[in-house]
Amino acid sequence: MCILLFKFDPRPVSKNAYRLILAANRDEFYHRPSKSADFWDSSNEILSGALVTNFLTADLDSYSYLKKVSVEGHLYNGFNLLAADLNTTKGDVICYYGNKGEPEPVFLNPGIYGLSNSLLDTPWKKLQYGKQLFTEVVKRSQDLTKEDLVEELLTVMNNQEPQLPDPAIEDQGKDYIRPILNKYAAVCVRCPGYGTRTNTVILIDSEGRVTFTERNMINADVNQWKTSTYEFKLHT
């Protein structure tokens, strides 16, 4: 049950402001094989965990790509996609498509958004609480060093306070989720053998400088973590 929170501000008024602040958790079985995000080759063109490869390698804008995906969206189990064009001549753009929602992708207005195992901004209590904590940090982002901002966002994404009762989560998970509902209904999920195993924070400032921080669990041990940070500038 992953969760993603982000603030989109395509035209920040201050040089200390961020065009994008994103924080996300990846939840799955601890022992499932996976790779950390990395640059794909020596060109350093794509930093990714090897998902949505068609968009990253194709010469399509975000809306056109999601529009193409939406044509066959009904053939698949539920999924959500966010795609962005940043530092373009037309300005920053973020688009969203969920195959259980509207039939076509939508352009997102500037603002703060949240996404979990449902459509964008579905008011699950854990998502609303996560957005509240995220918003409190974002409001102070211009007064924090970049390093402190990353640390505070990681603290938000590791909050284990269950947000109950929440009939929406219980109904979607049905009998499978009820035994672990107390853990599942938190921003950070901690169940035996399953839960949050990766935290990701992405910052893009007004000058197009990117800071990508990923914190990964090591050896399926909740007490062992490795943090990697990449810094680069967006192409103009």
Delimit the domains of the chain by residue range: 3-233
Partners of residue 26 on adjacent β-strands: 198
**Total residue count of the chain as it appears in this document:** 236
pLDDT tens string 25-44: 999 999 998 888 888 777 67
pLDDT tens string 78-107: 999 999 999 767 789 999 999 999 999 999
Specify whether the CB–CB gap between 235 and 87 falls below 8 A: yes
Backbone angles phi, psi at 56, to 5 degrees: -70, -25
pLDDT tens string 133-150: 999 999 999 999 999 999
Separation of alpha carbons 38 and 50, rounded Å? 9
pTM of the model: 0.93
Q: Does domain 3-233 have CATH number 3.30.1490?
A: no
